[in-house]
Structure 1
Amino acid sequence: MAEMSYLGYGPGAADIFFQVVDRRYHKGRPILFTTNKPLRQWGRVLYDPELARAIIDSTLHQGEYIKLSGSSYRLRGSKLDLDQPAPAEQLQTTLPSA
């Protein structure tokens, strides 16, 4: 399993990543990606749009793309909802009186 975009990747990472994906593709081995970035932004994440496209192409050739949306499963039941903007009064800082 590989996570795309939480960690920064430097130039050259796409070369290594492509090799891993390509080997797994040709051996018929599964690979799973999780990401919070749309596929069109993978080129920016990997610093190489062409290799990012090749990685996506190989992965989706016999794979599936499943997009999940909605509130965080981990935050269910909590009052905090990261998908909703905070009310303005919660964003204001109150300074103590002098």
Structure 2
Amino acid sequence: MGELIPLLKTETYIKKSQMCLKRIREADLVIMDDLMAMDQHEANLLFHLINHLYEKTSIILTSNKDPEEWGRLLGDQGIAMAILDWFLHRSEVIQFQGESHRLKYRETLFDSKTVQN
């Protein structure tokens, strides 16, 4: 997501962004990792991309936020509900509970002594 939003914002005037988004729009599978906070304009751009991909492309979206929080995350409750409607139609939702999988394997990093200790 951190790379997708800048591509969407610059598509109208940067050729590289246009080419990258063309590949995304023609892909069989698009993976959007870690839905993040964005302003209403960015959410609108994402909305239009998902609208284009809907029923043409398989999409995997990861988020550490519950769907109830998406309105605040995307800066627009209406856009969030439309995106969720598309994602939940003919989809499989997988929820993970517990600690971060990324940090689980890095516990030794936080247990080690630092120069200040």
- Decide: shared fold, TM above 0.5: yes
Structure 1: which 5+ runs fail to align? Answer: 81-98
Count of residue correspondences: 78
1:72 maps to 2:100: yes
Give structure 1 regions of 4+ aligned residues with deviation exceeding 4 angstroms. Answer: none
From 1, 5, 9, the counterpart of 2:38: 9
| Residues 14-49 of structure 1: CA deviation (Å, up to 9, x unaligned) | 21111111111142x111111111101111111110
TM-score normalised by L of structure 2: 0.58
Higher mean displacement: 18-27 or 48-57: 18-27
TM-score normalised by L of structure 1: 0.68
Point out which structure has higher relative CO (alpha carbons under 8 A, 6+ apart): 1
From 45, 56, 72, the counterpart of 2:84: 56
From 37, 41, 49, the counterpart of 2:69: 41
Provide the rounded CA distance (Å) in 2 between the counterparts of 1:33 and 1:15.
17
CA-atom RMSD in angstroms: 2.0
Structure 2: which 5+ runs fail to align? Answer: 1-30, 111-117
Relative to its length, the structure with more helix (as a share) is 2
- State the percentage of identical aligned residues: 31
Provide the rounded CA distance (Å) in 1 between the counterparts of 2:106 and 2:78.
42
